[in-house]
Amino acid sequence: SADHGLHVSLSPIAFPDHFATHCEWAGKLRADNGTDLFKSDATFRLVPGLADPTCVSFEAVGVPGHYLRHSNCQIHLQKPDGSELFRKDATFRVRPGIADQRFNSFECYAPSNYFLRHQDWMLRVAPFESSPLYAADSTWSVRQAKFQK
């Protein structure tokens, strides 16, 4: 389950050997290649949501002070700019997994009913769809971090 302060890695249930990563400031789904750089890029610290402490934000362990945030439905790794918009874009509600409630889905704080998913090997947010593909692509296994400092 999603506990604040933990170092975690996110793996989609349909691709257990792939992980949510940041690469060149973009959110990407990549296969684990075993390198230290990959492990760092695939590890996030779950912190209280920047817009709402009952939610979560994902801080990059390898680039402290930078968070996953959505902009134009794409996921980017960015440093907060002090705006309310950034705080909302970097905050997610932890939900039971859409495809399997043993796992998690992450709903955008705003707009609601948009969920973190992977599509074409990129991380994005998209409005909920009642389809098996959407369910699988937006359900994540929150795993022990790939990288421990």
pTM score of the predicted model: 0.93
- Give the pLDDT band of residue 29 (cuts 50, 70, 90): very high
Instruction: In whole angstroms, give the CA distance from residue 31 to residue 55.
Output: 27
Lookup: tokens for 37: 């750089």
Q: How many CB atoms lie within 10 A of CB 121?
A: 11
Q: Are strands 26-31 and 44-48 parallel, antiparallel or unpaired?
A: unpaired
The 10s digit of each residue's pLDDT in 41-99 is: 999 999 999 999 999 999 999 999 999 999 999 999 999 999 999 999 999 999 999 99
85 three-class SS = helix
Structure tokens at 21: 């990563």
